[in-house]
Structure 1
Amino acid sequence: MTDYSNSKPSVWFWVISIVAFIWNGMGVYQYLIKAYNTEGFRSQYTTEQLEVIAGVPAWATAAFAIGVFGGLIASGFLLLRNKLATIFFVFSLLGVLVHAYHNHFVIDSVAMMGSTAAVFTGIVIVGAVLLLWYSKYATRKGWLR
């Protein structure tokens, strides 16, 4: 059996980790401007869309928070080369999936926002799955302790 305990991660590990941290940081930013209902947030939507957003149930808002904060924490653990990244990427993926369920099956965001909503949701889900997979891969390679 190979001892990977002293394995140094590749340059790509650091690139992916930094991009993941920035990506999830942008998600946290989106959550915060929504939570604080900033002018910048309100300017992105019509009055009808804002009314729907204002009626989002607590479980969907919690899923959004778990998705983005879980992803940011996981990305931080990835940068610290800590195995806890995988656990937090699991939480993040679960939050993303629950939030996507709400957006596409409860409020039909495609009808409200257009097909871009479905495309972006797909990108977020694929990204969350890939980051979870990558954290498991990095653990197998011995890059995470």
Structure 2
Amino acid sequence: MPRNKKEGIIFGVTMCFLMVCGMSTYNLALVGKLSFAKFVIGLIPGFIVAFFFDTVIVGPVAKKIAFKLPINKNSKLQIILAISLLMVTGMVTFMSIFGLLMRPEIPQNIVSAYFIGWGMNFIAALPLQLLIVGPISRLKLQMLQRYFDSKI
């Protein structure tokens, strides 16, 4: 876990960037439009929007709720799982709206399209977060913390 603001920002940027990369690739592949050009074009606005929601709305609310849940606060695993589940739920909720707005045309039944998109995104985002992005981000943070600790 990040110990200060600087580590928190580095951790958040890493987590957010990797999730946007993974989910952008998934969504482009899902609609049959995966190409390097489309990936790069969507990456910057996707990252900006995701980072905003992550740092301003979803992250603070998810952490607040997670620490109010009846979990063992001494268990790092339980804390990670609670925060991750809440973060994925919140980010999928907001980023599915962003995905709808990025489409070339607005679907006729926007509510149905939103909930279908939400479900498809959730089933990809949760394992991506728990099995790939979370562990990579925590490993990078640990390496950074060891580096900074050795310089003291």
TM over 0.5: no
Band of TM-score, shorter chain: 0.3 to 0.5
TM-score (norm 2): 0.32
